[in-house]
Structure 1
Amino acid sequence: MSSDPWGRVDETGTVYVRTADGEQVVGSWQAGSPEEALAYFERKYEGLVVEIGLLEKRVKTTDLSTKDAQVAIDHIREQVDAHHAVGDLQALRERLDKLVATVESRREERKQQRAKQSDEARKAKEDLVTEAEQLAQSDQWRAAGERLRSLVDTWKGLPRLDRKSDDELWHRFSHARSAFSKRRKAHFAQLDAQREEARRTKERLVTEAEALSGSSDWGPTAARYRELMAEWKAAGRAQREHEDDLWNRFRGAQDVFFAARSSVFAERDAEQTENLKLKEELAEEAEKLLPIGDLKAARAAFRSINERWEAIGHVPRDARPKVEGRMHAVERAMQESEEAEWRRTNPEARARAAGLTGQLQAAVDKLRSQIDQARAQGNSAKADKLERELEGRQALLDQALKGLQEFGG
């Protein structure tokens, strides 16, 4: 017979383990010496020790789920309770009991953490909804539009709440965005109407300017042209595809008249010499407007200079290209600045881009809602199909949003 502090082997080859409840049969050993029998079952005990140690480490250092941890604990406990090993089985049970307590503690911690995260997500989404509802009333179309898109990205990054709460908040959030889009669309529709009214006004001005181009009543006609120019600028911008053509016709009519007037005044040399001096001073004054900083102020200043310029009369023919070229250079810089400002604030193209973006955003929102509904109903195949469709629509929306940003938001 062989024995150690935790077990023994009797003369029949039966192996026992000592426990607080007395000796328990571990198994029977007939293949070798008693020492070999004890060593075999002691190794099985060491195997359980190692297995428990690994499980303790997993529980402390990984995100092992409560369910999986409990299954592993129960599996080891079954082996311990079966008494198929020689060693301090009670110590193993105590370690397993502590492990159960640790798992339960971590489960409770995770539960509290999830509850905290849910509360934080709810607060964050409520804040997003509140801001979106405020932005829905904004007239800062570009800034508010960009901020609403940013809020959507923030929303996507937040965890979902319970379905009822999440749906209610999303409904308010989506409604605020839709309200803003409708107001913005109406605003640009009104701008389009104003552009059309400007077009009709400028066509009338062009008709009169062309009728006056053959006049030889120099003073009153020149004065009327200045009045027509003031009316032209007060009319606002027409649609871009009409604005340039109308302007070319308007300017061309003036050029015909003033060219005719110039030819009549060409022989007034003495007066023209003094005129040249005055125009050179005006050209110098105009050149000081460059580079253009404040377009409105520069435009007003140049208009004043140009009116004085027109009132002066002609200069000697050979000096005209140089002095007029200086003014034209300033005028071109002014026009280029105006055109740059026009391109930057082109409402028609921006309105079209905004309308397309609104349609695509509505389609994307609808698909997301359908995907959520399909997931909730357990229809994964439908949800996956809708997800693929959503990818395509989202790509179009991203492209439209990029285009809208190029027009100023």
Structure 2
Amino acid sequence: MSSDPWGRVDETGTVYVRTADGEKVVGSWQAGAPEEALAYFERKYDGLVVEIDLLERRVKTTDLSAKDALAAVGHLRQQVEEAHAVGDLEALGRRLDQLTELIETRREERKAARARQAEEARKAKEALVAEAEELAASDQWRAAGERLRALVDTWKGLPRLDRKSDDELWHRFSHARSAFSKRRKAHFASLDAQREEARRRKEKLVAEAEALSGSTDWGPTAARYRELMQEWKAAGRAQREHEDALWQRFRGAQDVFFAARGEVFAERDAEQRENLARKEELAAEAEKLLPVTDLKAARVAFRAINERWDAVGHVPRDARAGIEGRMHAVERAIQEAEEAEWRRTNPEARARAEGLTGQLQDAVDKLRAQIEKARAAGNTAKAEKLERELEGRQALLDQALKGLREFSG
């Protein structure tokens, strides 16, 4: 006879498995050693363990439905109950019980998740409806139209709700889109009428601009051209096929007038070029103040240069930014020097630096005294440890003293 903790084979070759309810016959073995019989039925038990392992893994790592999972558990439970195997069958039953509990828990979690998803979908669709209803009143035709199309795509990607709720929300959503579409069509119909009116107005403006192009009454005519430009802008856009041609005629008439006036103003341009030369000299004089070594003197000198600068007239427009930028650069450098001086002489910062330096000096003095005491007592290890600490504190003190010297200039 042969046995192990979970089964045995008797003299007749009958194989038993031990359970909580006693021994149970699982088969017979007539050929071979009893140990081979036990090993055979233990392998059957191992096969059940593998199947349960696989099912546990599927339940935990895949989206296996609760219905299919429970059916698989039931099938395995029947296999365990009817098993011709040697092993801890009660342990397999307990594992299946635990797996059933896990499946039920997962089912409730999924049910709750579906409820959350439905609620999230409802809120998302309500938000889409609210935005669509807001867009229905928008006059940003292109942007609003594109956004409404994007909202439709978003809607299609959301889960359906219950039929009644989904239909009600879709009705509001669709109504908002229709309202926007009707308003947009009405707007562009009105816009066509406005463009025709703009064409008629601009033709009159072009006629007047062309009549003024030969005028030599520079001031009033230039003023009238500015008024015509304002009227042109106020007239709105004509149809595309007319707008560009009308503009070329309108702009061409102005160009003729202003070209003639430009020749007359050439003498003034010469004066502005002379002014530019004078300002370049002043800018060069100001740039010699850099770098700032004497802040007070630099400030006084720059003020005097700036007064002469202000006395010079206008320069050509295309040179204005460059020449003024040079003076601004010097002014900024002096301002930065002033800020640096203020920081250097800031009493609060100096007080903080002095306080930190004093604390570090006290710490260094204290450590030196401790080192002397340790050496006097023959405690070399402690003295060496304190010396390493002293090196760090001394480095901090040196840095603090350097910063303090900066306040002294």
Q: Does 1:158 align with 2:158?
A: yes
CA contact (8 A) 2:17 2:86 kept: yes
Comparing 139-148 with 33-42, greater Cα deviation is found at 139-148
Bigger-Rg structure (1/2):
2
Counterparts of 1:168 and 1:231, CA distance in 2: 50
Structure 1 residue runs of 5 or longer lacking an equivalent are 266-271, 285-325, 328-409
CA contact (8 A) 1:49 1:92 kept: yes
Counterparts of 1:57 and 1:186, CA distance in 2: 63
Comparing 54-63 with 35-44, greater Cα deviation is found at 54-63
Counterparts of 1:104 and 1:133, CA distance in 2: 43
Counterparts of 2:191 and 2:215, CA distance in 1: 40
Aligned to 2:405: none
Aligned to 1:60: 60
CA contact (8 A) 1:17 1:83 kept: no
Change (3 A) 1:282 1:43: same
Q: CA shift at 1:85, angstroms?
A: 0.5
SS in 1 for 2:168: helix
Aligned to 2:6: 6
CA contact (8 A) 1:80 1:92 kept: yes
Equivalent runs, 1:14-33 vs 2, <5 Å: 14-33=14-33
Equivalent runs, 1:250-329 vs 2, <5 Å: 250=250, 277=267
Aligned to 1:170: 170
Q: CA shift at 1:4, angstroms?
A: 3.4
Aligned to 2:87: 87
Aligned to 2:42: 42
CA contact (8 A) 1:225 1:254 kept: no
Structure 2 residue runs of 5 or longer lacking an equivalent are 275-315, 318-409
Comparing 245-254 with 35-44, greater Cα deviation is found at 245-254
Counterparts of 2:12 and 2:76, CA distance in 1: 29
Q: CA shift at 1:233, angstroms?
A: 5.0
Aligned to 2:110: 110
Q: CA shift at 1:189, angstroms?
A: 2.6
Q: CA shift at 1:187, angstroms?
A: 1.9
Residue identity opposite 2:115 in structure 1: A
Change (3 A) 1:107 1:192: same
CA contact (8 A) 1:66 1:103 kept: yes
Aligned to 2:76: 76
Percent of aligned pairs sharing the same letter: 75
Comparing 39-48 with 8-17, greater Cα deviation is found at 8-17
Counterparts of 2:106 and 2:6, CA distance in 1: 34
Residue identity opposite 2:54 in structure 1: L
Residue identity opposite 2:113 in structure 1: Q
Q: CA RMSD in A?
A: 4.4
Q: CA shift at 1:191, angstroms?
A: 1.9
Change (3 A) 1:281 1:176: farther
CA contact (8 A) 2:212 2:221 kept: no
Counterparts of 1:68 and 1:214, CA distance in 2: 90
Change (3 A) 1:179 1:230: closer
Change (3 A) 1:148 1:283: farther
Equivalent runs, 1:394-405 vs 2, <5 Å: none
C-alpha deviations, 1:269-322, integer Å up to 9, x for none? Answer: xxx9986546888999xxxxxxxxxxxxxxxxxxxxxxxxxxxxxxxxxxxxxx
C-alpha deviations, 1:203-258, integer Å up to 9, x for none? Answer: 34556777x58999999x979985877755543321232122234445667889x7
Counterparts of 1:253 and 1:232, CA distance in 2: 14
SS in 2 for 1:18: strand
Change (3 A) 1:191 1:35: same
SS in 1 for 2:84: coil
Change (3 A) 1:252 1:35: closer
Aligned length in residues: 278
SS in 2 for 1:15: strand
Change (3 A) 1:177 1:66: same
Counterparts of 1:225 and 1:190, CA distance in 2: 31
Counterparts of 1:112 and 1:121, CA distance in 2: 14
